[in-house]
Amino acid sequence: MSGCCGHSARFEGLSADYKRRLWLVIAINAGMFAVEMGAGQLSGSQALKADALDFLGDALTYGISLAVIGASLRTRAMAAMAKGVSLLLMGLWVFGSTVYQVFVVGVPQAHIMGVIGFMALAANLLSVLLLVRYKDGDANVRSVWLCSRNDAIGNVAVMIAALGVWGTASGWPDLIVAGIMAGLFLNSAVQILSQALQERREAAPSAP
């Protein structure tokens, strides 16, 4: 019934090629979470830690997306809502930890931020290339695309932060970028939740 009600059919993930690409992206994100969180701890960079958390969130998001492919529209919408809430919580955590970091003495190590930021950018560009042909779909599929896009934007921001830290010998560029990334998480959460709620309403008439 998801194709009724005057709406054009949305891609629902029912493709072997899409599933293979999703598995590859899950592996990329899980690996980069471990690398970037370790580097963030070593360098004292809040932006790197925020981006690492985004990698973890993406790996979990993609796993949920795989699990509900082929399920009812209502189930997929509920899964997308869960992912939207997780992004919302992630954004609030990054925002809160960034505010806390303002009061911690110490400047992040710019060279580590730059190297890891470049590695993460390469990983995310690969993920974006793998998923770009499937960027338009239901809330479940769209959440995957938004998370991949967020990662690529976030990595560019981390590299900019590294240049700012190096040029100013101050931790403020790192904190500003972490704050911007928190806003990006929150914006994506609103988009996902909005579409998921709409799809849940569409599924309601056909629900028993």
Number of domains in the chain: 1
Rounded mean pLDDT, 49-58: 77
- Specify if 9 maps to a domain: no
Rounded mean pLDDT, 112-122: 79
- Specify if 83 maps to a domain: yes
**What was the pLDDT predicted at 27?**
93
Give the closest residue to 195 by CA, choosing from 77, 90, 101: 77
- Specify if 190 maps to a domain: yes
Structure token digits, residue 201 = 């309403």
d(CA 145, CA 68) in angstroms, rounded, equals 16
Question: What is the domain-level CATH number for residue 142?
Answer: 1.20.1510.10
- Specify if 85 maps to a domain: yes
Structural domain span for residue 82: 16-206
**pLDDT tens digits along 149-180:** 777 777 777 777 778 777 777 767 777 777 77
- Buried (b) or exposed (e) across 126-137, using 16+ Cβ within 10 A? ebbebbeebeeb
- Specify if 123 maps to a domain: yes
- Residue 169: CB atoms within 10 Å: 8
pLDDT of residue 8 exceeding 50, the answer is no
d(CA 141, CA 62) in angstroms, rounded, equals 9
**What was the pLDDT predicted at 103?**
59
- Specify if 8 maps to a domain: no
- Specify if 25 maps to a domain: yes
Mean pLDDT for the chain overall: 74
